[in-house]
Amino acid sequence: MFENELSNALAVEGLSEQDILGALEVPKEAKNGDICLPCFKFARTLRLAPQIIADRLTPHAKALDFVEKVETVGGYLNVFFKRTRLAADILRAAQCETVGESDEGKGKTICIDYSSVNIAKPFHIGHLSTTVIGGALYRIFKHLGYNVVGINHLGDWGTQFGKLIVATRKWSSLEEVEKNDEYFLNSLYVRYHKEAAEHPEMDDDARAWFKRIEDGDKDATAYFDAFKKVTMEAVGKIYDRLKIHFDSYAGESFYNDKMQPCLDILRDKGLLVESDGAWVVDLDKYDMPPCLLLKADGATLYATRDLAAAYYRKQTYDFCKCLYVVAYQQNLHFKQLFQVLKLMDFAGADDMEHIAFGMVSMEDGAMSTRNGRVIWLKEVLDKAVDKAAEIISEKNPNIQNKMQVAESVGVGAVVFSALWNNRIKDIVFSYDKVLNFDGETAPYVQYTYARCASALRKGGKFDPEKADFESIASDEAYDVIKSVLAFPESVRQAAKLREPCVVTRHIVDLAGKFNRFYIGHRIVVDDEGTRNARLMLTAAVKHTIGTGLALLGIDAPEEM
């Protein structure tokens, strides 16, 4: 909050305000100040030792009315703020429901491709990461003022639909599919692969049926449409529970008539070459295998559709960034895709990013929907909600809307568990870990939010103009205030690094600091000035935690 004023004051000795602002840091230890300026980077420009630079800047920092003291240590200029002044400014700014919104992204569009479910396959736990990471990034960039386009690039094309038609015709019917759910479709898919292992001729039938879908055959299209309808109704319910929103459901089939122009560009540039009957882009000079775009039989592939999607998105949305939230198993695919786009002189080639994340496996090995080895996400969410309901019944049996709160707590715990670690880390799914509500978890943060809400209800209305900020100058209170102050920067870092866990960890840290303050200091006291200040502090924490949970897609119950 005071960085700009401090940077302006220190813009002397040949240093610019931007130089200073870009170099300011928050020290890891409180003994080194509230903010510090490492002077090493200025030594060559000014031809002075870092310690001398820090000494010369000291009086300029001391002259500011919000500075308590300044220390120079080993080339660092350590600045300590006046606690009461910081408290007053920070807490007044944090009295709105949403903390840290900005317009830094105004006029810029970011496309985020995430979740991208496969038609006819239920949501399993492996889909959780892409869905909640993408959803969190969507909300974080919105918070920073960007126009964000959430895209669900549906897996709605391929021979698997021919396989499902064969399975439906052999063991079920179109009418039965329309009356059933996505789990029924999956059971047909699993059965098909077991039977096809014994009767490989079934694959010929599957390819023939998919060809009929490609040709727009009425009977084949009826099956295909039924599979999509059943799947989208089911995943829509999961998305509602996870608070996930999309602006586009343009999947693979959408790009059927949009691939040829891309292939024409590649041919015109002499980039598309024949290889054993197939057509590829040679990427040998970039230390990558060739990018296959057309099979020998003329069939297109994921890469072909992704090229068309990139052109469509740039033309439609004119994005400044296009992010693909996809597991790191697809690293090579995206390296090839981005390189081909550069060779095509695609206008947005330098603005494409693969936001990779780790894989999810079961404790006894990898998952496979084809073999029926999966953990369904609905089952995980339901179990988490059931456990939350049990705990709430035990600890707060008279709570209103018990099942609504249980849904918020249970689903929040699952989402939080997926957003706690750096996204690239592999996850071995364990019910025990996901359903453990103790420690650094969503229920802990939600409980802190509810604790703040309870204190504010008991305290009633407060008057910021009559707050005694000296009463919240303790170390515990100051730690809370600095954490509230740092929250907007954590959101910016989460966006910059494409890491929602920066927000997750910040609100856990804030919850811990507030709870330490809460235990040591009564909020609702007789003294009016103290009560107003502590209620302001509590409201700022409530709003900050509430904002953080909302960015992650997690509810903040007023009571638990």
Can you list the residues of the chain whose pLDDT is less than 50? Answer: none
State the pTM of this model. 0.92
Instruction: Tell me what pLDDT residue 352 has.
Output: 98
Instruction: Tell me what pLDDT residue 373 has.
Output: 62
Q: Cα–Cα distance between 251 and 244 in angstroms, integer?
A: 17
- The pLDDT tens digits of the residues spanning 434-473 come to 777 778 899 999 999 999 999 999 999 999 999 999 999 9
Q: What letter represents residue 168's amino acid?
A: T
Instruction: Tell me what pLDDT residue 553 has.
Output: 98
Instruction: Tell me what pLDDT residue 179 has.
Output: 92
3-class SS string, 353-402: EEECCCCEEECCECCECCCCECCEHHHHHHHHHHHHHHHHHHHCCCCCCH
Q: Cα–Cα distance between 208 and 220 in angstroms, integer?
A: 10
DSSP 3-state of 174: helix
DSSP 3-state of 62: helix
Q: Cα–Cα distance between 214 and 221 in angstroms, integer?
A: 9
Instruction: Tell me what pLDDT residue 434 has.
Output: 74
Query: Per the structure block, which two tokens stand in for 548?
Result: 């953080």
Helix, strand, coil percentages in the chain from 3-state DSSP, rounded to 5: 60, 10, 30
Domains defined along the chain, listed by start: 3-81 (3.30.1360.70), 160-242 (no CATH), 377-423+433-552 (1.10.730.10)
Q: Are 448 and 514 in contact (CB under 8 A)?
A: yes
Q: What is the DSSP string of 189-230?
A: HHHHHHHHHH-THHHHHHHHHHHHHHTT-HHHHHHHHHHHHH
**C-alpha to C-alpha distances, 140 to 98, 103, 430, 495, 502, nearest whole angstrom:** 12, 12, 28, 6, 11
Q: What is the DSSP string of 522-557?
A: -SS-S-HHHHHHHHHHHHHHHHHHHHHHHHHT----
Q: Which of 361, 384, 467, 378 is nearest to 431 (CA)?
A: 384
Q: Cα–Cα distance between 81 and 76 in angstroms, integer?
A: 16
Instruction: Tell me what pLDDT residue 430 has.
Output: 73
Instruction: Tell me what pLDDT residue 365 has.
Output: 58
Q: Cα–Cα distance between 202 and 166 in angstroms, integer?
A: 8
Q: What angle do helix axes 160-171 and 182-198 make, rounded to 10 degrees?
A: 90
Which H or E run contains 452?
helix 442-459
Q: Cα–Cα distance between 506 and 501 in angstroms, integer?
A: 8
Instruction: Tell me what pLDDT residue 369 has.
Output: 56
Instruction: Tell me what pLDDT residue 438 has.
Output: 78
Burial of 186 (0-12, 13-18, 19+ CB in 10 A): buried
User: Which strands sit side by side in the sheet containing 352-355, from one edge to the other?
Assistant: 147-151, 109-113, 321-325, 352-355
Query: What is the bridge-based pairing of β-strands 278-281 and 291-294?
Result: antiparallel
Instruction: Tell me what pLDDT residue 475 has.
Output: 93
Burial of 305 (0-12, 13-18, 19+ CB in 10 A): buried
